[in-house]
Structure 1
Amino acid sequence: MRSAPSLESRQHSHVFDEGDPLAERNTRWAVGLTAAMMVAEIAGGWRFNSMALLADGWHMSSHALALGLAALAYGAARRFARDPRFAFGTWKIEVLGGYTSALCLIGVALLMAWQSVQRLLAPAPIHYDRAIALAVAGLLVNLACAWLLRDGHDHGHGPHHDLNLRAAYLHVLADAATSILAILALVGGKAWGAAWLDPLMGLIGAGLVGAWAWGLLRDSGRVLLDAEMNAPVVEEIREAIAEGPVEAAICDLHVWRVGKGNYACILSLVTAEAADPDVFKRQLELHEELAHISIEVNRTCTVPVS
């Protein structure tokens, strides 16, 4: 007689996302570059009396913090990847890092707007030449960080799947945008004597940063709250069950994300005749994004059939 499979043989890994060591390493490089430029811009902004340069420096300081948070999130997700306390792996540590970075971005946008309004109401003389040189240096550092965190480092998934990398990338992109605005404001102010351009560009930069932060906050929050029932894979599950060889109705369906492009699925079915859950599981395994599938088959349904 063949013995029943042991408990160990039925166990399987709950590591659904192996992380991205290259993205983690390059994020750490971006932290160092950003922190160094942050100190230079804040000091230069105060010394040369440029609101645009100072706003860019404070903006960069929050990004240094947020990039550091992104690097820590990668490290924590890797360190606790096989910790049994995490029922569906540690990928959401990275998502939490992205969500927190979005909150930092919103704070930066509000700070930039406040400081810019103050400078509009109380203008001060600006040392244009040295401020422009420092702003250009800041832009070069931002471009170098953006290159480190570019899309290709996510192994084809793109920044919209790796929300932690997307957060880091948006931070340096926001830095680059505010550096460009600072340069335009300083050049315009020097050429036309329009000192009001400096705080005006600070307000425009605050608007851009706020918009990017809201998008990241929305997307990462959706993942953290498991608000994934409008994902395309949900309709694919319904179609696969409806088109299968065994007639079945869905009693209950739960789908949520457990990795960059991976989903878990809990499915309760009701059938007119006895059926093996493995039949339905094989149907769903054709969808590669379903990394974890749990199915129960009943002859009656205790919840409304969907």
Structure 2
Amino acid sequence: MEMNQRKMSEKRTAFVVVFTFIVMVAELGVGLYSHSMALTADGVHMGSHVLVLGLNWGAYVLVRRLQKKGNDHYDGDKILSLSAWTSGIFLLLMAFFIIGEAVERLRGPHVDIATGQALAVAAVGLVANGICASALHHHHADLNSHAAYLHILSDLLTELGVIIGLVCAMLWDITFIDAAVALIAACVVIRWAWKLLHQTAVALITKQ
């Protein structure tokens, strides 16, 4: 049963990686062709997802190949937990980066936001992350799959916050809402990341 669940998690994680890669290529291509910096930047952002989620996928591939070779020198569960722990570190770094950007925006002068273009990009990201989150939802056979889901969920939360902030800026010219919502989202992500790091640390140091 555990083997089948792990195989299913690998397939779903692989789908998310490939789908995110396709969205990344599409955004970069259209962004460069249309000279849209917002779309190009989001394409680069999607690239970071491909790298982190690719780590989760790679952990499954490594464990599967070791088991296929009958290699008993490595603990597959520990490998997956280590991958999840690394994802937790990336989640923390992402949250701290968001906090830094939000604080700088709050302390800086009023800026004009190209809300129309930014909303379109945020909507693309929201739909893409929604599809990925749906693929990974309720299929957490281990901490590695749970880490991949949290990474997608954190970005989904961030994209939702961006849309709320942009709508407030467009309708009422309240630009600080964008940064305030980002701060709230970052705090939620930190809580998720800290819990994930605690769970993976326990799994790594506990003797099987």
Question: Normalising to structure 1: TM-score of the pair?
Answer: 0.59
Point out the more displaced range, 62-71 or 98-107. Answer: 62-71
Write the distance in 1 (CA, Å) between the matches of 2:44 and 2:184.
16
1:243-282 matches, cutoff 5 A: 256-257=207-208
Between the aligned partners of 1:106 and 1:58, the Cα distance in structure 2 is 19
Aligned residue runs from structure 1 range 78-117, under 5 A: 78-81=64-67, 82-86=70-74, 89-117=75-103
Which residue number corresponds to residue 112 of structure 2? 125
Equivalent of 1:162, from 123, 137, 142?
142
Letter in 1 for 2:16: A
* Matched residue SS, 2:112: coil
Q: Match for 1:149 among 127, 131, 136?
A: 136
Instruction: Report the CA distance between 1:21 and its aligned residue.
Output: 1.8
Q: For residues 177 and 57 of structure 1, what CA distance do their matches in structure 2 show?
A: 18
Query: In structure 2, do the counterparts of structure 1 residues 48 and 150 end up closer, same or farther at CA, with 3 Å as the change threshold?
Result: closer
Q: Give the Å deviation of 1:124.
A: 2.3
Q: Which amino acid is 2:179 matched to?
A: P
For the residue of structure 2 that corresponds to 1:20, the secondary structure is: helix
- Tell me whether 1:193 sits opposite 2:140 in the alignment: no
Stretches of structure 2 lacking an aligned partner (at least 5 in a row): none
Give SS of 1:84's match. Answer: coil
CA distance in 2, matches of 1:48, 1:168: 25
Q: What does the per-residue CA deviation read over 1:50-77, in whole Å, with 9 as the maximum and x for residues that have no partner?
A: xxxx6x7776544332211100000011
Root-mean-square deviation (Å): 2.7
CA positional deviation for 1:36: 4.5
Shift of 1:119: 1.8
CA distance in 2, matches of 1:38, 1:178: 17
Give 1:47's aligned residue.
Answer: 37
Matched, 1:174 2:154: yes
Residues in 1 aligned to 2:117 and 2:89: alpha-carbon distance in whole angstroms: 32
Give the aligned residue type for 1:135.
Answer: A
**Percent identity over paired residues:** 34
Q: How many correspondences in the alignment?
A: 198
8 Å CA contact 1:135–1:182 kept in 2: the answer is yes
Task: For 2:72, give the aligned amino acid.
Answer: P
* 1:89-129 Cα deviation digits (max 9, x unpaired): 42211111101000000010111111111122224211101
Distance 1:105 1:61, change over 3 A: farther
Aligned position for 2:199: 219
d(CA) in 1 for partners of 2:97 and 2:45?
A: 9
Higher relative contact order (CA 8 A, sep 6+): 2
Native 8 Å contact 2:6 2:142 kept in 1: no
Contact 1:17 1:91 in 2 (8 A): no
Question: How far apart, in 2, do the equivalents of 1:38 and 1:204 lie?
Answer: 26
